[in-house]
Structure 1
Amino acid sequence: MELLEWKKSYDTGIEEIDNQHRQLLEFLNELGKETASRDNRKTAEILEGLSEYTVSHFAFEEALMEEAGYPYSGPHKHVHKTLIQRVTAFKEKLAAGEAISEELHSFLRRWLINHIQRDDKAYVASVSAHFKLEDEAPAEEKEENHGWIARMTRKFFG
């Protein structure tokens, strides 16, 4: 299966979010590598790691949107919730012995790229404005805002 490579078009401009998205892409590449082996046990391990990381990423992203006062955080959270429900359904199929690797990989690949490029990029202006992440922000504001992001990163990712 073709591995996904990070493209500049996936960048949101928020370094921590982009780093998390890169990690999600790596999980997808692991899943893609396992698709050929059809090892449900290994698929389950990767899916569990992907699920746990995704839940943390979503919580981080939602906290970021709420802190920034993003007006569409509710619908964005709903999109996250829907994905979690879909992944849970895939887990149930896998637990029942179904071979889901190819379908799961294809679905998650499309979902992640579309979500980053459409849904996530939609909140960037609000978040950037709130945190003044632009280059012209005074150094003390950057430190304060990056401090919040760093604290939240530690909270969700250890």
Structure 2
Amino acid sequence: MTFMPWTSELELGFDEIDRQHQELVRLTNQLHEELCCPIPRREAIGAVLEGLVDYTHNHFIIEEVLFQRHGYPETAAHQAEHNGFTARAMDLLMRFEDGEEVSMEALDLLKGWLVHHICQVDRAYVPFLRAAEAQAAATA
């Protein structure tokens, strides 16, 4: 059974954003698979953590550019969510690089944050961006 299956509940209806969210879910599952090995490989765990941090950072930039382009009124609050997660992910990576083990607790935290962020925080911008895109298409 997949640790964090991709479901339609996680889809927002923006192809690029959904593809990026799928990649974050894939990386989370990859981390889970490595942690479940009888002897998890530190180098593999480190590579996945670095990939998660890098990919998440780039994904957040793309979302924030969309917000700025369309004047999303909740940009500051959304950026604060992004910044908080980035800090937590970087802290996890730094602790790992300092020799700390990554636990299932950290993985559960990652999964919980992703589900909450996609299903609640990101879903909140969907109506605004849909309306902004429709308005832009109508005036084009």
Shift of 1:89: 1.1
Q: Which residue of 2 aligns with 1:3?
A: 3
- Root-mean-square deviation (Å): 1.8
Shift of 1:13: 1.5
Aligned-pair CA distance for 1:3:
2.6
State whether residues 70 and 126 of structure 1, in contact with CA within 8 Å, keep that contact through their aligned partners in structure 2.
yes
Structure 2 gap ranges (5+): none
5+ residue gaps in structure 1? 142-158
CA deviation vs aligned residue, 1:66-118 (integer Å, no higher than 9, x gap): 11111001010010000111011111211121111422211110000110001
> How do residues 17-96 of structure 1 correspond to structure 2 at under 5 angstroms?
17-37=17-37, 38-96=40-98
Query: What is the alpha-carbon distance in structure 2 between the residues aligned to residue 64 and residue 15 of structure 1?
Result: 13
TM-score by length of 1: 0.80
Answer whether contact 1:30 1:46 (CA < 8 A) is retained: yes
Between the aligned residues of both structures, percent identity stands at 32
Distance of 1:24 and 1:132 partners within structure 2: 28
- TM-score, length-scaled by structure 2: 0.90
Q: How far, CA to CA, are the matches of 2:35 and 2:45 in structure 1? A: 8
Question: Contact 1:43–1:101 at 8 Å: present in 2 too?
Answer: no
Q: Equivalents in 1 of 2:41, 2:86: separation in Å? A: 23
